[in-house]
Amino acid sequence: MGANDRVRVGVIGAGSWAAGNHIPVLQARDDVELVVAVRKGMDALEMLKDRFGFEHITEDYREALEHDLDAVVVGSPSVFHHEHAKAAMEAGANVLCEKPVTIDPADAWDLDATAKALGRELVISFGWHYRPTVIEAKRMMTEDGGVGEIEHILVAMASGTRELLKATGAYEGSATDFMPDWDTWTDPAMSGGGYAPAQLSHAMGLALWLSGERAKDVFALMNNVGARVDLHDAISIRYQSGATGVLSGASCPSQAGIGDIADEPWPRHQLQVRFYGSEGQLIVDLERDFLWHFREDGTDNKPDLPDHAGLYQCDGPPSTLIDLTQGKDVPNRSPAEVGARSVEVVAAAYESLRTGGLARVAGLD
């Protein structure tokens, strides 16, 4: 496919988030042809066709994959990600898969292996990886010496998912006339759990992308506060390198934010990642658009960042899917293997909760 060719796109799982983010991003591009949308419910499908101009609509993803698609967005419930993403790649398409990439880490690694074996592009929907703060943090970790040997990683996140996970409301950024299916988020068989897969997979994806680390042992405590799934998580981690880490997650009210950003399209997520190492530290604070890289060699860098450089936006992953499909030389900042490593942490956390003890990441000695 040439850089100027229109990319034929299908959306499997065209739900609230896809309709609120991925599809509008794709529709805004002149080089994209919206071919087919898949979801449950013909009334909703007709609305999608009228609003976004899809050529075809269907409730059967297999039928959708018969339309000679170049790229597919997988936004279905997490339990179906492996089936849908693998089928799309085997049908010849590059794929953008929502996070968590799967529930079972083995399925996530299988998708990574499938993409590599077939020569497909597989992008995971980690929007922060494409924001200015994180791009600069990655450069600091890879080009400016990082922090030496990583010894400890702190990850703390809170976001407005309380109503969603308690099945009493939606979430900021969802399409207002495509109400989220609560079972997609609050039935563990469909979602894999609560706040851990819904949001901490984002936070861990970020920490693992910046550090290159992989978890080995995990211990978790969780609080459901009467909900079907966890709203709050306290997780301790030992990484393969020997580094330790903590991962904290909390569900706050959906309208929670900070400062004077009430008129912006997103609430401000409370998210920070801190790396402490043998030669320095790196603080990435996306709530406050703050980045600080300090090293023993005299580096003391607090760069000026664009306004709202840490505000969550997710135009990067779908745009990257199209660019890569056209053969453009752009980086995939959210590759499948990072998604798989984040799934390992979440799965081990639930195993720890089940047993009450330390859980070893599956497949690691």
**For the residues 271-282, what does the mean pLDDT come to?**
98
In a 3-state reduction of DSSP, which class is residue 348?
A: helix
pLDDT at 259: 42
**For the residues 111-137, what does the mean pLDDT come to?**
97
- Please enumerate in sequence order all residues whose Cβ is within 8 A of that of 299, keeping only pairs 6 or more positions apart, or say none: 144, 145, 280, 293
pLDDT at 262: 47
Please, what is the angle between helix 336-355 and helix 201-211, to 10°?
A: 120
Average per-residue pLDDT in the chain?
A: 92
Tell me the pLDDT band of 167, cut-offs 50, 70 and 90.
Answer: confident
Backbone angles phi, psi at 269, to 5 degrees: -70, 140
What strand order describes the sheet that includes 359-360?
A: 300-301, 290-295, 280-285, 270-277, 150-159, 244-251, 232-239, 215-223, 359-360
pLDDT at 86: 98
- What is the H or E stretch that residue 360 is in? strand 359-360
Beta strands in 81-190 (DSSP E): 94-97, 122-124, 150-159
Q: What is the pTM of this model?
A: 0.93
Q: Check whether 4 has a pLDDT greater than 70.
A: no
Tell me the pLDDT band of 220, cut-offs 50, 70 and 90.
Answer: very high
CA nearest 211: which of 263, 157, 162, 149? 149
| CA–CA distances in Å: residue 105 to residues 92, 108, 112, 179 | 24, 5, 11, 29
Tell me the pLDDT band of 260, cut-offs 50, 70 and 90.
Answer: very low
pLDDT at 364: 78
Torsion of CA 175, 179, 181, 182, to 10 degrees: 110
pLDDT at 172: 54
Beta strands in 129-243 (DSSP E): 150-159, 215-223, 232-239
Per-residue pLDDT tens digits for 172-217: 555 556 656 667 778 899 999 999 999 999 999 999 999 999 999 9
Distance separating alpha carbons of residues 163 and 334, to the nearest angstrom: 28
* Amino acid found at 306: P
DSSP class per residue in 322-347: HHHHTT-----SSBHHHHHHHHHHHH
H helices then E strands: how many in the chain? 14, 15
- What is the H or E stretch that residue 121 is in? none
Comparing 30-44, 166-180, 249-263, the range with the smallest average pLDDT is 166-180
pLDDT at 265: 47
Per-residue pLDDT tens digits for 41-50: 999 999 999 9
Backbone angles phi, psi at 259, to 5 degrees: 60, -140
pLDDT at 37: 98
Q: Check whether 361 has a pLDDT greater than 70.
A: yes
Q: Are 171 and 251 in contact (CB under 8 A)?
A: no
**For the residues 256-282, what does the mean pLDDT come to?**
75
Q: Check whether 94 has a pLDDT greater than 80.
A: yes
Residue 171, both tokens: 């979430």
pLDDT at 311: 87
Q: Check whether 102 has a pLDDT greater than 90.
A: yes
